[in-house]
Each structure stands twice: as structure tokens, then as C-alpha cells.
Amino acid sequence: MRLTKLEHAALVIEESGDRLIVDPGKFTRPITDQDGVVAVVVTHEHDDHWTPEQLGRIRDRNPGVRFLGPAGVATAASDFAFETVQAGDEVDVGAFRVRFFGGRHAEIHRSIPIVDNLGVLVNGALYYGGDSFTVPQGVVVDVLAAPAGAPWMKISEAMDYVQAVAPRRAFPTHEMVLSRAGVSLSNVRLGWATEQGGGHYLPLEPGDELDV
């Protein structure tokens, strides 16, 4: 299985010629060249994780693509035929088995409503929590997409999260809200946290690939 990190929170995962795209939002360059996409997973409804333009581009190139997300996403993206999933669900699509965890977005501020959010485990190996610190209980995570910066977190929380998951490998995501200096600082801290569990940290940049 091969992972390609795109900008911000977007990921492309390829296995046996099939592709799965996760969270193609507004901070990600237009996705115009992805064929063989069997599914798109959107973890929650905020537009840095999906836009109708991104979903439309993917659907135009892949008419049979399936869309998976929590109830809040299905409501917000009503122009797309989202299959509503919830924590505990497992879905087989193409070469992928996706399993969902959690249920709620991390709190940004008490004045801002908390929306649905699901973490996703792909083929039992790659875990991405969306905008949450949900730990996938009972799972040995090979590769963790670790949040680098966001309005809903501070770096100490992300470090604690990485230590709780204890992945074999980790890389940064959700980093487009940071300056270059901020990305570098976050990489140091998340790298330290990964190493505490015996893991290896990979400071992937947009366009970088990783075999999972």
C-alpha cells in the first residue's frame, strides 16, 4: 500500500491499482489527475477537509466513486451521495477495508459547536484521526497521520496523542495553518513523541510518498 501526502489533511492511498482519497479540502491544490479512485473518506464537515469543487473533480474522473463520512458530512455535502458511517463501522471498497473510530471533533472553543468527526483506519495499518485525538483502541498502528497544528490543539496535546497511539511510524498532517518555522518546530516535537514509543518519525512534505 502506498501513501501520498498532499497539502494539509489530504491523503491518497493506493493498493492494487485502486485509490482512496481522504479529506480533500480547500488548503489542498485542486485534485485533477487521480484515476482509479474507488472511495473518498471525509472525516468531518469543515471546508479545510472537503469542498464541493474537490469532490466534483474526483467524481468527474471517477463516476463510480463512493463517498463515506459521518452524518454531519452527509448533510453538508448533500449534492454527493454520501454513505453515512459511524464509529465501529467497517466498509470494504475495492482493495481497502476502512474502519471508523471516535465520533466528535475536538473542541475549538466553548462558543463553537462541536461537529461529527470520525477517525479512519485503512487496511489495519494507517490511522488518521481527523480533527480529534481519538486513539484507536486495540489497534497496533503502523503509520499515524499526526496533527501538526490547528485551532483545536496545542503541541503538547499532539505529543501526548502520539505517545498514546505509539505508532511504528508517524508523519505530520494538518500543517498548512503553520509557518515554515512552525512546521519545523512541530516536526521536532512530534518526532520526539514518536521516538518515545520506539517509533520512527517521517517529516513528509506535500507530494512525498510512503510505503505502508
Complete domains list, the chain, with CATH: 2-197 (3.60.15.10)
Tens-level pLDDT at each residue, the chain (212 residues): 999 999 999 999 999 999 999 999 999 999 999 999 999 999 999 999 999 999 999 999 999 999 999 999 999 999 999 999 999 999 999 999 999 999 999 999 999 999 999 999 999 999 999 999 999 999 999 999 999 999 999 999 999 999 999 999 999 999 999 999 999 999 999 999 999 999 999 999 999 999 99
Nearest to 131 by CA among 24, 44, 13: 44
What pLDDT score was predicted for residue 39? 98
> Can you read off the three cell numbers belonging to residue 115?
461537529
What pLDDT score was predicted for residue 8? 97
What pLDDT score was predicted for residue 52? 98
What pLDDT score was predicted for residue 28? 98
Q: Are 121 and 102 in contact (CB under 8 A)?
A: no
Distances (CA, A) of 37 to 32, 99, 137, 198: 12, 18, 29, 34
CB atoms within 10 A of CB 69: 30
